[in-house]
Amino acid sequence: MKVKVFATLRPLVGADALDLETGAGDKVSDALREIIQRWPQLKSELYDSNGELSNRIHIFLNGRDVRYLGGLDMEIPENADLRIFPPVGGGR
């Protein structure tokens, strides 16, 4: 499964997309666990000090924020589009 990452996350992983073993039938939390295992520097970006998904991070599954779909326990459907957005600022 490919997971797109944006903004400040890209330099941490050296790419704009991550290839994961996790996929259809797994949960979003499984994908995040694999990401942290392979790119440990992302843990502090994705999770707060209590081990919860940071309020600053938005994870979209097929265009919808997982917080409104069932959270990290949401099952990943076939051909899912998973995207992770850090806080973004700036612009005019």
> Which CATH number fits the domain that encloses residue 71?
3.10.20.30
Domain that residue 78 falls in:
2-85
Q: Name which of 52, 57, 51 is nearest 85 in CA terms.
A: 57
**Residue 78 falls within a domain, yes or no?**
yes
Please compute the mean of the pLDDT values over residues 41-69 and round it to a whole number. 94
Q: What is the pLDDT of residue 31?
A: 97
Checking if the pLDDT of 22 tops 70, the result is: yes
Please compute the mean of the pLDDT values over residues 57-80 and round it to a whole number. 94
Return d(Cα 65, Cα 60) in angstroms, integer: 4
Radius of gyration of the chain measured on its C-alpha atoms: 12
Cα 20–chain centre separation: 11
For the stretch 3-14, pLDDT in tens is 999 999 999 999
Q: What is the pLDDT of residue 89?
A: 64
Q: How many domains does the chain have?
A: 1
Core vs surface per residue 30-41: b (16+ CB within 10 A) or e: bbbebbbeebee
Q: What are phi and psi of 46, to 5 degrees?
A: -90, -30
